[in-house]
A and B are shown apart, each in its own frame.
Chain A
Amino acid sequence: MKIKRLVSILLCVMMIAMGASAALAEDTVKIGHIAPMTGGLAAYGTAVNNAIELAISEINANGGLLGKQVELITKDNQADPAETVSAFNALLGEDVAAIIGAIRSACTSAITGLANDEGIVLITATSTADAITEEDNYVFRSCYKDSFQGAMCAAFAAAQGWTKVGILYTVGDAYSSGLRDSFLAAAAELGLTVVEEQSTSDISAVDFSSQLATIASAGVDVLFAPYYYNTIGPNIIPQAREAGYTGPILGADGFDGTESVAVGDLKAYENVYFTNHYSPEDPSPAVQDFIAAYTAVYPPESLNALAALAYDAMKMLAVAIEKAGTTDHDAIREAMVGMHYVGVTGDMTLDETGTPAKSVSIITYVVDGDKLVQKFVTTAQ
C-alpha cells in the first residue's frame, strides 16, 4: 500500500514538473540541431554542438531573441541518413523555429526536400556538396560549396605561377571528382595546363605509387589531389615523395586533420597547401575572439573549422529571427534570403540558392620539433 501511494505521489510530482517545464518552454525560442553525437563522426558532432551552445549562451547573455531566451534541442543522427530523417521529424514535433544540421552532405541531402515540404528553415554549417541548396527554397548554409573550393585551388596555383598541373583523384567519389571538375574548369580559364591526370577507382585505395610515378616523371609544377586526410596523410604524401616528386601538393578542406595521421619523416609533409573554411591562426579579431571564447568553456583540442562554421550558422539564424520579428517559419526564410553577414569564417553574402560567396583560407604544414603544425598562408576571395 505504502509503495503504491509513494508511486502515485511521485507520478503527480512528475506531471506537475512536466507541465511546468512545458509552460516554461513556451517562453523560449527553440532551435533544433541534428548532428552525429555518437559513432565514428562524433568528434565533428561534439565540436559543432559546442559552438552552437556557445553562440546561444552569448545571445542569451545579451537578452535572447525577441525578448525570449533561446533553447537548443540536439538530436543524434549517428551520421546516418535514415536516422537524420527520424531526428528531423522528432524536431518538428517539438515545435522548433528553425533547424541546424546535419554534418555529412549525404545526411543533409536526406532532409532538404522534407524541410521544403514542411516549410521550415534548414541551415547546414558543413555540408559542401553543390546540390544541397540548389533545389530547395528553405535550405541555406554557412560554408562554401565544393565547386567554389576547386576554383579557389586553381586560382591559388595560378597566383603562385604553377602552370603545369598534375591531378590525382577518385572517379568513384562525389567529393573528389566534384573538386577535380571545378578545378579543371577554373584551370582552363586561368591558363593552367593539365599535363598528367591519374585516378583511382575508389576512395578507399591505399596504393597510389604507379599513378604518382607517372605524374612525377611528367614534370609537373603542382599536384592537385582532392582526397580526405585519412588517405592524404599515411598514403598519398609519403608515396608521392617516394616517387621522387618534391613539388607542392594542393588540396581542399579534406586535408584538414592530416597532422594527426602523418607517418615517417615529417619533412615530406612540407610544401603541402589546402583551402579551408578558416584558420585558427588568422589574426583577425573575429577569429581570435571566437577561439578565446570557445577554449574558455570547451576543450581546445575539440575546436576545428566545423565549429567555427556552426557558430556562424547559429548567429546568422539569430540575425534572421530578429529581423523577422517572429518565429514564423516563412518570415524567418524571408529574412534569410540574400543575407550579408560578417562572421568568424569570413565575409559572406548568400546567393540566390542560399550558399554564401565568401573568402577561403589557404593553409600549409610546417614541422615544429617532432610534430606537424598548420600555418596560415593567406586569405583568398
Chain B
Amino acid sequence: MTDLLQQVIIGLRIGSIYALVALGYTMVYGIIRLINFAHGEFIMVGGYTLFFTIPVFINVFGLPAWMSVLVAIVVCAAVGVLSELLAYRPVRKKGTRMTALITAIGVSLLLQNLAQAIPMIGPNPRVIAQDIFQSGSINLLGVTTNLTAIFTIIIAAFVMIGLQLFIHKTKVGRAMRAVSENKAASTLVGINVNKTIVITFAIGASLAAIGALMYCAQYRSVTTTMGTMLGLKAFVSAVLGGIGLIPGAMLGGILIGLVEALVTAYISSSYANALVFVVLIIVLLVKPAGIMGKNVGEKV
C-alpha cells in the first residue's frame, strides 16, 4: 500500500510538469490551430536561464534560488513572442496550416542548434548544483517524500487554478476564448486578435519557464535537448485530454504521469515510454477528440 502511494506521488510529480508544459501546447493550438513544436525548446531556454541566474540570485542578491524563475519567465515569454512575431505570423499570413506546422519544427531545430552553437551553453550537459527548493523530506502517510516533489505538485495546482481564473474572469482571458472560437467574429466585436495571440504565446512560454523550474529542481541538469522528450510527452498529454482545452491538458498531464509511474513499477520499466503511447492510441480510437473533447464538426 505504501509502495502504491509512493508511486502515485512520483506519478503526480512527473504529471504536474507534463500538465504545465501541455498547457502551452493546448493554449496555442486553441487560438491559432498550430501545434507549436518549438514549445519543448522554450523549456530548454528556461532551463538555461535558470542555470545562469541561480548562482547570481544566491551569491549576489542573496535571494532564494527559486526566485530566478521570474527572470526565466521574462526570457521565455520574450522568446515565445519573438517566434510568433518573426516566424509564425508572417507564415500564417501567406501560407497554409501545414506551412505553419513546418515552421514550428524549424523554430524548434533553430533554437536547439543555436543553443549548441553558443559557447557558453554548448553541447555538454550542465549541472545545477544548488538546491532550488528547501532540501529534505517529509513523511506522508508512511511514505517518505522529498519536499521538491511536494512543492512541484502544489505550485502546479496553484498555477492551474490561477490560469483557469484568468481565462474565465478577466477581459484578456475572455478575449482569448473568443478568438479561439471565432477569429472573424472577435474582430467584429472589437478584439485585437493579433495582440491576443501574442499574449497567448507569452503566457504559454511563461508556463514552460515554470515547468523548467520544476524540471531543474528535480533533475538538476540541463541539456540543449532536454525539451524534446518532455515536449513530446506533454504534447501527448494535451492530445489525450483534448487539445485546445485547458482542463484537458491538466487532466492529460496528470494521467500520463501516473500511467508512466505505475507501468514502470508494476508492469515493465523498459516499456513505460511505449505504453504511454499505447494509452494515447487507445483513447483516441475510443474518443478521437480526447477525454474532455466534444466531437464538433469543422466550421465551414
Contact = CB atoms under 8 A, between A and B. Distances in A.
Interface in B1-56: 3, 6-7, 10, 14
Contacts of A234: 125, 127-128, 219-221
Contacts of A60: none
B186 interface: no
The interface centre, meaning the residue of A210, A214, A233, A242 with most chain B CB atoms within 10 A of its CB, is: A210
A261 B127 contact: yes
Interface stretch (A1-9, A196-204, A318-326): A196-204
Nearest to B131: A264
B226 to A, nearest CB: 8
A58 interface: no
B129 A213 contact: no
B119 to A, nearest CB: 12
B220 A213 contact: no
Contacts of B129: 262-264
Contact of A214 (B127, B226, B265): B265
Contact of B270 (A171, A230, A265): A171
A244 B145 CA distance: 10
A171 B229 CA distance: 17
B3 A217 contact: yes
Given A201-B271, A235-B221, A242-B146, A213 B127 contact: no
Interface residues of B, number: 34
A242 B220 contact: no
A40 interface: yes
Contact of B128 (A204, A235, A242, A263): A263
A74 interface: no
A264 B219 contact: no
A260 B221 CA distance: 12
A329 B225 CA distance: 44
Interface string B250-283: 0000000000110011000111111000000000
B232 to A, nearest CB: 12
B194 interface: no
A210 B7 contact: yes
Interface residues of A, number: 30
Contacts of A206: 219, 221, 226
B293 interface: no
B221 A244 contact: no
A329 B191 CA distance: 79
Interface string B107-136: 000000000000000111101110100010
A263 B269 contact: no
A211 interface: yes
B187 interface: no
Contact of B273 (A201, A211, A233, A244): A201
A207 interface: yes
A273 to B, nearest CB: 22
B272 A201 contact: yes
A261 B221 contact: yes
A374 to B, nearest CB: 17
B144 interface: yes
B221 A230 contact: yes
Interface in B141-159: 144, 146
A153 B144 CA distance: 31
Nearest to B218: A207
A210 B220 CA distance: 17
Contacts of B260: 210
Nearest to B274: A201
A40 B7 contact: no
B99 interface: no
B137 interface: yes
Contacts of A198: 264, 269
A263 B127 contact: yes
A263 B265 contact: no
Contacts of B124: 40
A210 B269 CA distance: 9
A47 to B, nearest CB: 15
Given A39-B123, A40-B122, A264-B131, A211 B269 contact: yes
Contacts of A242: 137, 146
B127 A207 contact: no
A209 interface: yes
Contacts of B226: 206
A78 to B, nearest CB: 11
Given A200-B270, A230-B125, A235-B219, A210 B225 contact: no
Contacts of A238: 220
Contacts of A201: 270-274
B235 to A, nearest CB: 18
A39 B265 CA distance: 38
A264 B220 contact: yes
A235 B125 CA distance: 12
Contacts of A260: 127
A215 to B, nearest CB: 10
Given A234-B127, A264-B135, A213 B3 contact: yes
Given A206-B221, A206-B226, A213-B7, 14 more contacts: A40-B122, A198-B264, A199-B269, A200-B269, A201-B272, A204-B225, A209-B261, A210-B265, A210-B272, A214-B265, A230-B221, A261-B127, A263-B221, A264-B129
24 contacts: A40-B122, A201-B273, A202-B273, A204-B229, A206-B219, A206-B221, A206-B226, A207-B219, A209-B10, A210-B10, A210-B269, A213-B10, A213-B265, A230-B125, A234-B221, A235-B219, A238-B220, A261-B125, A262-B127, A263-B127, A263-B128, A264-B131, A264-B220, A265-B135
Interface of A: 39-40, 171, 198-202, 204, 206-207, 209-211, 213-214, 217, 230, 233-235, 238, 242, 244, 260-265
Closest CB pairs A-B (n = 10): A210-B264, A234-B220, A234-B221, A263-B220, A206-B219, A40-B123, A261-B127, A199-B270, A171-B270, A198-B269
